[in-house]
Structure 1
Amino acid sequence: MLTEERHQYILDAIARYHTVKLKDLISALNTSVSTVRRDLDELEKKGLLKRVHGGAVSTGLPFAYDYTIPERSKQQMVAKQKIGRLAASLIQDGDFIYLDSGTTTSEIIPFLKGMNIIVVTNGLYNAERLIENNIPSYILAGKIKPLTKTIIGEAALVSLDQFRFSKAFIGANGISAHSAATTPDVSEAILKSHAIRRSVQSYLVADVSKFGSISFAKICDLADVTIITNVQKEALEEEIIQQTTILYAP
């Protein structure tokens, strides 16, 4: 079993039972005690669990998972539209934009109609909305992840390398002061991180439900992005405010 698969099994068990025993993990994962201990140590360093004698327990933070497009579309819709409007106001004619797959980033699209821009996305749902709004756009090559209608994988990274962006708008499943910006899928995290590095300015778009949650794979440090959210500064952790710039979408 690969390291990522072991880590995901451990985190799923923590999310379900709030505690795991070392001996149970050794049996379930069919691996050595030293390997499981190393896995637990790595996950603790990421803030995803807390080591205790004989195993590990939940940190108490909610764990963020992937949902289908229809499921996500129903969550925080008004907030996502407000975030989308503010994000779009930062875009200027002549910009080259990377639009990450996601239902929050997709709410930027209706406000871009008529602008002289080019958009690159890895989201099939985003691509459909870009076409509907007659916005010049490209979609990355790569493997399709059916659950989220997202393009990922090595081919997507190679495709992304062809472009440089004025601005990137990235989604996340979890944001916390300790674990930074995270998402459940390692391949998605790698692609998001790569897009940030290829952009002059990068923005993390996130509604209130993403704060205080953590997920499996780190996207970036909070200092690497400006956060656009519907959460007022007063309601955010002071540690988050100190690490990044916050733009509030009223």
Structure 2
Amino acid sequence: MLTEERFNIILKTVENKKAVTVQELTELLGSSESTVRRDLTALHEMGLVHKVHGGATAVDNSYTTNEDDVAYKHGQYSEEKKRIGQYAASLIHKGDFVFIDAGTTTEALIDYISEKEATYVTDGLGHANKLLKKGYKVFIPGGHLRVSTEAMVGEETVEALRKYNFTLGFFGTNGISPTAGYTTPDVHEAMVKKEAFDNCRDAYILSDPSKFNKISSVTFGDIGSARIITTDLQDHKYLKFTEIMEVDKNDLHSDL
């Protein structure tokens, strides 16, 4: 069994059981104790498990299953969202076909978009209105509107996104975890996010620092399948799993 396969099995076992012994893992993996101990040491050094005498325990993550409404989230981390949005907007170029996920962090991106020769698709009703007012070409998929997040959801939305091949995608998230990846509390929004996410050549997660080490109900993407744009990164273990753009406060320019 390859090292990566053993790592995945160990992580899933620890995540499910919260604690596991070396003996349990040797039987599960069919590997020697010395191999299991080396694996646990490596995973401990990556910050994915806590190695303890005789085994390992899960790394503490904050689980979140609730979704605050848009009005509340607008007031949270507003300066950080501006910095993230401005940097993300600089990545859009002429001819790009861009997906913009619903959410307040991705909404901040729209304020800084200046590329008029790109095409935009969004599942956010408010996002679509802002893009239209700026005179940009924008498409919004069908479906029904989820009031709390102002996002289009449903099978019709997923089916509409299935035919698209995006050059860029910008996504919000409720949680970021090395094991669970990018997560959100609502299964219907997760289905929409995943369809768009999987159809992006380059996917970016726009996230304030509060989302790290949190896990919500449904995963829509693996940790290594997108780059992260954030501010004030505290937990540097994430640099081992994906590329992270950390936007400094001095990078924000008052062009609005």
Give the letter aligned to residue 123 of structure 1.
G
Structure 2 alignment gaps of length 5 or more: 1-11, 20-57, 249-256
Q: Distance in 1 between matches of 2:113 and 2:126?
A: 16
Deviation at 1:63, TM superposition (A): 2.6
* Alpha carbons 2:161, 2:196 under 8 Å: kept: yes
Deviation at 1:174, TM superposition (A): 0.4
2:244 aligned residue (237, 243, 246): 246
Deviation at 1:230, TM superposition (A): 0.8
Alignment of 1:182-221 (within 5 A): 182-221=183-222
Q: Distance in 1 between matches of 2:16 and 2:185?
A: 12
Matched, 1:160 2:158: no
Residues 1:48 and 1:180: Cα distance change in structure 2 (over 3 Å): farther
> 1:236 corresponds to which residue?
235
Q: Flag as ranges the 4+ runs of structure 1 deviating above 4 A.
A: 44-51
- RMSD, aligned CA: 2.2
Residues 1:164 and 1:67: Cα distance change in structure 2 (over 3 Å): same
* Alpha carbons 1:68, 1:147 under 8 Å: kept: yes
Deviation at 1:45, TM superposition (A): 6.0
* Alpha carbons 2:89, 2:114 under 8 Å: kept: no
Residues 1:207 and 1:45: Cα distance change in structure 2 (over 3 Å): farther
Structure 1 alignment gaps of length 5 or more: 1-43, 52-57
> 2:63 corresponds to which residue?
63
Q: Distance in 1 between matches of 2:92 and 2:242?
A: 20
> 1:137 corresponds to which residue?
138
Deviation at 1:50, TM superposition (A): 4.3
* Alpha carbons 1:48, 1:216 under 8 Å: kept: no
TM-score (structure 2 length as normaliser): 0.72
Q: Distance in 2 between matches of 1:214 and 1:183?
A: 8
Q: Distance in 2 between matches of 1:171 and 1:178?
A: 18
Q: CA-to-partner distance for each residue in 1:7-28, whole Å, 9 max, x for gaps?
A: xxxxxxxxxxxxxxxxxxxxxx
Deviation at 1:48, TM superposition (A): 8.0
Q: CA-to-partner distance for each residue in 1:41-88, whole Å, 9 max, x for gaps?
A: xxx86948848xxxxxx9853233311111110100000010001101
Q: Distance in 1 between matches of 2:136 and 2:13?
A: 43
* Alpha carbons 1:100, 1:169 under 8 Å: kept: yes
* Alpha carbons 2:94, 2:115 under 8 Å: kept: no
Equivalences, count: 199
SS at match of 1:167: strand
Deviation at 1:113, TM superposition (A): 3.4
